[in-house]
Amino acid sequence: MDNVKKMNKWANAHTYYSLDILRIGLGVFLLLKGFSFITNSREFEDLIAPVSNFMGGMLTFHYIAAAHIMGGIMIVFGLLTRWAIIAQLPILLGAVLINFLGDMNGNNLMLSTATFGISIFFLFYGGGKHSADYYFKMEK
| Chain segment 60-118, per-residue pLDDT in tens | 777 888 888 999 999 988 888 889 999 989 888 888 887 777 667 778 788 888 999 99
- CA end-to-end span of the chain: 18
Q: Are the beta carbons of 131 and 122 closer than 8 angstroms?
A: no
| Chain segment 25-63, per-residue pLDDT in tens | 999 999 998 888 888 877 777 776 666 666 566 677 778
Q: Is 102 left (phi over 0), alpha (psi -120 to 50) or beta?
A: beta
At position 3, the amino acid (one-letter code) is: N
Residues in the chain: 140
Q: pTM of the entire structure?
A: 0.77
* C-alpha pair distances (Å), 16 with each of 2, 11, 22, 54, 75: 23, 9, 10, 42, 16
Calculate ∠ Cα 35-41-46, nearest 5°.
125
* C-alpha pair distances (Å), 107 with each of 45, 51, 59: 19, 20, 26
Taking Cα atoms as reference points, which of 78, 59, 56 lies closest to residue 67? 59
